[in-house]
């Protein structure tokens, strides 16, 4: 398996524009996580899905952020409208179940909002 695949790797956009980040989890995994990493706040869990259903979105900063998982092999994180404070590295991770099963991370998307 190629691992968790995220696209794009880098995104530069202007304030106010819509941004869509994409993630393809590892085949067979049933949990998917979206994290945001910044110097100030570290690695924050934004939302996670289990069997394509959003389970906990308490980490989503505000209504400008939305995430979907239309099927087991694809998820998106959308920011509309984007703001400079959204600049961060966004990671997607997937795992098979809970317990002591580890999450596998993608390479991340570095988002810069100017």
Residues that bind other proteins (CB under 8 A): 4, 31, 33, 35, 42-43, 45, 48, 50, 55-56, 91, 93, 95, 97-100, 102-108
Which residues are paired to 45 by β-bridges? 35
Q: Which of 51, 80 has the CB closer to other proteins? A: 51
Q: Find the shortest distance in angstroms from Cβ 59 to other proteins.
A: 9
Q: Find the shortest distance in angstroms from Cβ 82 to other proteins.
A: 22
Which residues are paired to 34 by β-bridges? 47, 92
Q: Find the shortest distance in angstroms from Cβ 21 to other proteins.
A: 14
3-state secondary structure of 56: strand
CA 32 to chain centre: 9
Which residue, 54, 53, 51, 80, is CA-closest to 65? 80
């Amino acid at each position: 398996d190629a691992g968790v695949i995220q696209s794009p790797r880098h995104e530069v956009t202007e304030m106010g524009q819509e941004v869509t980040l994409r993630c393809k989890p590892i085949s067979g995994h049933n949990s998917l996580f979206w994290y945001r990493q910044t110097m100030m706040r570290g690695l924050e869990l934004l939302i996670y899905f289990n069997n394509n259903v959003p389970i906990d979105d308490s980490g989503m900063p505000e209504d400008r952020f939305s995430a979907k998982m239309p099927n087991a092999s694809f998820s998106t994180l959308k920011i509309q409208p984007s703001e400079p404070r959204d600049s961060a590295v966004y990671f997607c991770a997937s795992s098979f179940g809970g317990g002591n099963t580890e999450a596998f991370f993608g390479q991340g998307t570095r988002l810069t909002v100017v």
